[in-house]
Structure 1
Amino acid sequence: MHEKENSLEKLQVRLKEADNKANDVKVSFENLCESAKVEIGALEEAERELMMIDKDLKDAELKKNHYEDVMSTKVLSQLKAAEAEYQDLEHRRRESYEKASIICPESELETVGGCDGSTPEQLSAQLTRLSQRLQQESRRHPESIEDLRMLYNKKECKILRKQQTYKAFREKLGACHKALDLRWSKFQRNATLLKRQLTWQFNGHLGKKGISGHIKVNYEEKTLSIEVKMPQDASSSNVHDTRGLSGGERSFSTLCFALALHEMTEAPFRAMDEFDVFMDAVSRKISLDAVVDFALAQGSQWIFITPHDISMVKQDERVKKQQMAAPRS
């Protein structure tokens, strides 16, 4: 009985294990069935899509056959007829082009403006006008076409030579313009520098008496003006006209201006007559010293004529004094 009970217990254990395995198999079977259902649904959907594609393919095949029939029965015949007509028109165009080239070469047609984009009516009207013009020119110029062509070639060669000459002249003219512009710029610069130099030298001579001044030169209007400022002028106003100065101041300013001009020019002989007539003694002394120093520095020969006493002129080996006898009363 104990053995049977042990056997029974073993059998019961194995039975439980078998039940567990059966349950596991049952669960697996259920899962398999569920997945099979999903795959079957997808398969059915794919089958339906395949049937629709097959139907669309049959419809497309029917349409293709229909259009092929239309192409073979209607379109191809029309295309062949149009191609044959095109070949015939092309052949006729070539023949017409050859005939037209014999009558009027294309180069001559281009010289009168060409015929691109023109209708036959426009070409006919243009041909009529050209014929009328040809008749008029034939009456005016009875020469032959060959003579006119020879004359045209001669004129063309002459025009070409003239154009080359004109081009060479234009290049020379351009070079002359460049040289003129360069010289004009240098001239303007020199003119500006000369105006400054004249003012500086004028001020240098005026400064010997404590006077300052300025010279304005206008080359366009061809005018020259002198401004002088006297040291005793408390109003600090400039005198724009030398006639507003006294006789001695005007003579001294004029002398300074003359010396400034003499310093900018070259001459072997220079003479000044009675330049100190209206000056006082102090101005005369300063003026004589200024002109004598200037003459000695320049190195040229100067002649000064004055009715006043010249004993105040300094002695030098290059300075010679000559006093004339007094006139008889």
Structure 2
Amino acid sequence: MFEKMGCAGEVKLVKGGSEEDFDKYGISIMVRFRAEEQLQQLTRHTQSGGERSLATAIYLMALQRLTTVPFRCVDEINQGMDRINERKMLQLLVKVTTEIDNSQYFLLTPKLLTNLEYNPKIMVHTVMNGKHIMPYDKWNYDKFISRARHYKA
């Protein structure tokens, strides 16, 4: 998954004590975001918030092929990412979550980049709230679709 993003990553099992001391087991996530860097352990002190979010998203996408569940829910995973990595991550998310019929995937976010590529298996629900938001019964769907098509071209 990291290679698809132009990065590198590795997950290692860390045994904190003896072989039978399972409560001390953990994982170490090693990442590299630039070609000239060495792999480094993912920590809150070494990488930026956006890099940590990106690494977490990629790790979760890699794990989903190993476990079948009815649905997955991720909240604001794209927060703190720069636009380039956010776009790459969301495009990879669309590809990975729709290539097999594994489970439903819910991404909750206060923002999405414009002009993202989707496919027929994706459904986007937009919730608009606030005192200055136009009531839904006043929406002009034809005008909305026309403008969306215009901006896509």
Tell whether the structures are fold-level matches, with TM greater than 0.5: yes
User: 2:53 is matched with which residue?
Assistant: 251
Matches of 1:295 and 1:250 in 2, distance apart? 21
| 2:109 maps to which of 306, 315, 325 | 306
One-letter amino acid matched to 1:317: P
Higher RCO (Cα < 8 Å, 6 or more apart): 2
Q: CA deviation at 1:273?
A: 1.0
Q: Distance in 1 between matches of 2:78 and 2:67?
A: 22
The Cα offsets for residues 30-59 of structure 1, whole Å up to 9 and x where unpaired, read as xxxxxxxxxxxxxxxxxxxxxxxxxxxxxx
1:206 partnered with 2:2: yes
How far apart, CA to CA, are the structure 2 residues paired with 1:213 and 1:287? 15
SS of the aligned residue for 2:51 comes to helix
Q: CA deviation at 1:279?
A: 0.7
Aligned-partner residue type, residue 237 of structure 1: Q
SS of 1:242 mapped into structure 2: coil
- The match for 2:149 is none
Decide whether the 8 Å contact of 1:289 with 1:313 is kept in 2.
yes
The equivalences for 1:266-277 within 5 A come to 266-277=68-79
1:324 and 2:127 matched? yes
Q: Which amino acid aligns with 1:239?
A: Q
Structure number with larger C-alpha Rg = 1
Instruction: Report the residue type matching 2:40 in the other structure.
Output: V
Q: Distance in 1 between matches of 2:10 and 2:111?
A: 30
Q: Secondary structure at the match of 2:65?
A: helix
Whether the 8 Å contact between 1:276 and 1:284 is mirrored in structure 2 is yes
Indicate whether 1:242 and 2:43 are aligned: yes
Choose the corresponding residue for 1:291, options 93, 98, 112.
93
| Aligned-pair Cα RMSD in Å | 1.9
Letter in 1 for 2:78: D
**Distance across 1 between alignment mates of 2:93 and 2:61:** 8
CA contact (8 A) 1:285 1:312 kept: no
Deviation per residue, 1:274-329 (Å, 9 max, x gap): 11011111111111111111110131211111111254332322211111114237
In 2 relative to 1, CA 321–311 (structure 1 residues): closer, same or farther, beyond 3 Å? farther
Length-normalised TM-score, structure 1: 0.35
Aligned residues: 123
Q: Does 1:216 align with 2:12?
A: yes
Distance 2:80 2:105 in 1: 21
> What is the correspondence of 1:137-152 to structure 2 with a 5 Å cutoff?
none
Structure 1's unaligned 5+ residue stretches are: 1-204
Residues 133-181 of structure 1: CA deviation (Å, up to 9, x unaligned): xxxxxxxxxxxxxxxxxxxxxxxxxxxxxxxxxxxxxxxxxxxxxxxxx
Q: 1:231 to 1:310 in 2, by over 3 A?
A: closer
Structure 2 portions without partners, runs of 5+: 133-153
- Richer in strand (by share): 2
Give the alignment's TM-score, normalised by structure 2: 0.71
Alpha-carbon distance in structure 1 between the residues aligned to 2:42 and 2:82 = 21
* Residue range with higher mean Cα deviation, 285-294 or 316-325: 316-325
> Which protein has the bigger helix share?
1
Counterpart contact for 2:5–2:89, Cα < 8 Å: no
Report how far residue 240 of structure 1 moved: 1.4
Q: Deviations over 1:168-201 (max 9, x none)?
A: xxxxxxxxxxxxxxxxxxxxxxxxxxxxxxxxxx
Q: Secondary structure of the residue that 1:226 maps to in structure 2?
A: strand
Equivalent residue for 1:262? Answer: 64
Q: What is the 5 A alignment of 1:105-120?
A: none
How far apart in 1 are the matches of 2:69 and 2:11? 23
